[in-house]
Structure formats: C-alpha cells, structure tokens
Chain A
Amino acid sequence: MRSHIHYRDYQDFESDPLFLATMMPDEGLDIILGQFPGSDVKYTSPLQCALFTSQTATTVITHAQTIANITETTYTSYARQTLAAATWGAAAERPTNLGRQRTYPQLTYPTVGATGATINGFYIANNGFTVCIGQANFDDGLAVVLATNDVIKVTPTIAYLH
C-alpha cells in the first residue's frame, strides 16, 4: 500500500506551543549532579571560580555570549579560587522543590591590597579558564564595593531544576 504525506502550505511551527509535561525527578537530577560537578572522570578538576566587574549587580551575559564577554576583577592580590570535584557537598533540595543542588564550602578570596574593585558577582569556568560554565550575581542583587583590607567570601551552588 502506498501512503502519502500531505503538507499544509503554511505551518507556523515556531509559534505552536508545546503541551507536553516533563519531569526530571530528584533521583535523576542526583545522577546528573553526580557526574557534574561530582565526578572528575567527566571533566578536568578543579574548576575555577572568578569574580567579575562587567555586566551589573543584577544582570549577567546572555545565553549566546561567552567568557570573553566577562571582565574579571584585577583588585590587588586577587586570584581565582579553585573548586575541586570531591569537595562539593551532597545533593540536596533546591528550596522549595525547585530542583536539586550541590553547594561548595565558602570560598575566601585574598585580602584586598592597594587597589579595590566593585564586584557584580562570580562565575565558574572550566579548568583551562576558556569556557564559562555559569555566571551569577550575588543573591542579594547588590554589588560588593571592595576597599583596601576588605575580604570577600563566596559560597557557590550549582542547581539543576526539575
């Protein structure tokens, strides 16, 4: 038997809404979190956690931008801190029931020397610092103005949503 596929002359695929339900449950997200950032078999550990002065205290790069669009701070004595795969905390709920997350122990950056900076947030990059994995403002949406002798501490979290 022969069959024919009939096409409509015009079909606006892009504006058609999708009505399918999806769910990545806790147990599935925990597997993904176990691979990244949990397993250094899957990527080169440690990752790098850097501070940025570009964008604003409440904005970050767009999805199509890259690490090249982010300006890293250069305050005196600043250096990126590292995130070792084995150090991330256990997977836990992202409140409230948004997904699952793993949190890294609080990082302390070097005490600011002669020249400070205004920090709009932090970003996590791959080991070679060639790819931005994620960029975030601080959770209070405020820039941190660093002056001489100030110390900034950051607690990074990676979350996957259901």
Chain B
Amino acid sequence: MASKKIYECTNASCTLGSRKDPGRFSGGITQEQATAFLGDPDAPHGDGYCPNCGEKGKEVSDA
C-alpha cells in the first residue's frame, strides 16, 4: 500500500467517504465507468478521477 497514490474526492455531493468528510480512493475511474456515469465517451478518466462520481480528485500525501 505504501507506494500507492491516494486521492481525496472534493465533490461535496459525492457519497464517497461520509457526508461530512471527503472520501479517499486510489487509482481512478475506468473509461467504461466514466461513460456510464457521465454519458460522455470522451469524459476524462483514469488515475486521479473519482471512481464514485468521475470528478477529478485531489492528491493527498499522508496515506
């Protein structure tokens, strides 16, 4: 787990984490997931994009 990049989803309406505290994720949303969530096959995806809502996450260093 040590070398894995961790991101925080700053989208307030995303359910990742709890309602009050931003959730964390590693990796990112796949192109298939992004297309399903956002309806756009060209939606940004991959490392750093929240797998729960598709928004760009903020990298955190303390994980």
Secondary structure call for the B interface: loop
User: Known contacts A77-B26, A81-B24; is A110 also within 8 Å of B19 by CB?
Assistant: no
User: Known contacts A74-B1, A82-B17, A113-B30; is A108 also within 8 Å of B24 by CB?
Assistant: no
Separation of A77 and B16 alpha carbons in the complex (Å):
12
- Are A46 and B28 touching (Cβ within 8 A)? no
> Taking the complex as formed, is A111 at the interface, i.e. its CB lies under 8 A from any CB of chain B?
yes
Complex: chain B residue closest to A156, CB-CB? B18
* Distance of B41 from chain A, by nearest CB (Å): 17
* Total interface residues in chain B, CB < 8 Å: 24
Interface of chain B residues 4 through 59 with chain A (CB within 8 A): 4, 6-7, 15-21, 23-30, 33, 50-52
Chain B residues near A149: list those with CB within 8 A.
33
* Distance of A134 from chain B, by nearest CB (Å): 18
Chain A residues near B21: list those with CB within 8 A.
46, 81-84, 87
Secondary structure call for the A interface: loop
* Total interface residues in chain A, CB < 8 Å: 25
> Taking the complex as formed, is A104 at the interface, i.e. its CB lies under 8 A from any CB of chain B?
yes
Known: A76-B27, A109-B16, A111-B33. 17 other contacts (CB 8 A): A46-B21, A72-B1, A77-B27, A77-B51, A79-B4, A79-B25, A107-B23, A108-B16, A108-B18, A108-B23, A110-B25, A110-B26, A110-B50, A110-B52, A113-B51, A114-B30, A149-B33
- List the interface of chain B (C-beta within 8 A of A): 1, 4, 6-7, 15-21, 23-30, 33, 50-52, 63
- List the interface of chain A (C-beta within 8 A of B): 46, 72, 74, 76-84, 87, 104-111, 113-114, 149, 151
Q: What are 27 A-to-B residue pairs whose CB atoms are below 8 Å?
A: A72-B1, A74-B1, A77-B27, A77-B29, A77-B51, A79-B6, A79-B23, A80-B63, A81-B17, A81-B21, A82-B17, A82-B21, A83-B21, A84-B21, A87-B18, A104-B18, A105-B18, A107-B23, A108-B16, A108-B23, A110-B25, A110-B26, A110-B27, A111-B33, A113-B29, A149-B33, A151-B52
